[in-house]
Amino acid sequence: MSAGGSATARPRYGVVGWPVSHSRSPAMHQAAGLDYQLLPVPPERVEATLRALPASGFAGVNVTIPHKGAALAVADTASVAAREIGAANTLLYAPDGGIAADNTDAPGLLATLTGRPQASAIVLGAGGSARAIVWALRSIGCEVGVWNRTSARAEALVEELGGTALSVSGDSGLVEPADILVNCTALELDRSSSGIDGLPLSVDHLARYATVVDLAYKPGGTVLTAEAAKRTFVVDGLEILVQQGARSFELWTGRPADVAAMRSAVRNTAEDHGAAYDPPGGKPVP
Ligand code: NDP
């Protein structure tokens, strides 16, 4: 789809969220060459704003917490991934006024697993990101187990998207090995918790997973990625951010993204912000 706006104006892009001030997406997409900015929009204004942005020269936007469902709802067309996940993180504005929705969180994860064993996975969490991850893994034929603190949400998720809800009894934690472990919980960003004690994992058992993916990220890395890196292959939340961003870039521009430049921008931003990166509510915005 080609960019909206006038023939001569440089197309504009951005990330719509609430709150969104700590997003690394502007640094990442600016490094890739886009005119890209933060777009803080409260829930009561999101629908009108998403419809109005093309008139201000926007050719596309990323959409993040808590607006991914609203983004899907305003779209005229949606990819199979966005429809089945029930959320869109990327909108494309066509010159004719049409809005197309896609979800690049799912292919972003799969890109990080290239060449890795992919037959089985355990997903921790049953929130919005877990839906995209379970959908992505199921789409490649992976056998998926889902554990969540609130078990009813895990059961509802697998009922809709497939997979098996996992429960844990006693102190043993999850005992099944799997090719992939994906943490989609916000546990480490919860200020009332420390480390990964709230997850059904023992760090000594992380070698059971050929790849450990942690969607969460924070300055200095998470406890899970640090412990897993001593024992197995790790994909951190910043790499997931880069890969979903690269796919959004490609949808908007039709060109391959400069992934190395995007990765460098994201990691430098993280280091620059250091301990100051601690948003209200403790939840970074992808
Ligand atoms: P949601 O709010 O939709 O879901 C939060 C999940 O975390 C739920 O499963 C919730 O369980 C669980 N959880 C929260 N607190 C705790 C806790 N103290 N102990 C155990 N489980 C807990 O969030 P998202 O799915 O959108 O995001 C989840 C994480 O992934 C966040 O850290 C987010 O920043 C990150 N993320 C990263 C992306 C990237 O590009 N790297 C992209 C998207 C998300 P329950 O149902 O019991 O409340």
**What per-residue confidence (pLDDT) applies to 219?**
83
Nearest CA to ligand 1 atom 4: 127
Q: What is the pTM of this model?
A: 0.91
Distances from the Cα of 85 to the Cα of 52, 72, 103, 140, 238, angstroms: 25, 10, 8, 15, 22
Ligand 1 site residues (CB inside 6 A) read: 65, 105, 125-130, 148-150, 153, 184-187, 189-190, 193, 198, 215-217, 237, 240-241, 244, 283-284, 286
In three-state secondary structure terms, 63 is strand
Q: Which of 20, 109, 110, 184 to mutate to test the pocket of ligand 1 (most atoms within 8 A of CB)?
A: 184
The answer to whether 94 touches 127, Cβ cutoff 8 Å, is no
Written as one string, the DSSP assignment of 257-273 is: --HHHHHHHHHHHHHHH
Residue 141: CA atoms inside 13 Å, Cβ hemisphere, count? 2
**What per-residue confidence (pLDDT) applies to 171?**
75
CA–centroid distance, 71 to ligand 1, in Å, is 19
Distance CA 105, CA 108 (A): 5
Q: Is the dihedral of CA 160, 157, 283, 184 positive or negative?
A: negative
Spans of the chain below 50 pLDDT: 1-5, 272-286
In three-state secondary structure terms, 205 is helix
Closest among 43, 77, 36, 76 to 59, alpha carbons compared: 36
Query: Per-residue pLDDT tens for 160-196?
Result: 999 999 998 777 789 889 999 999 999 987 777 777 8
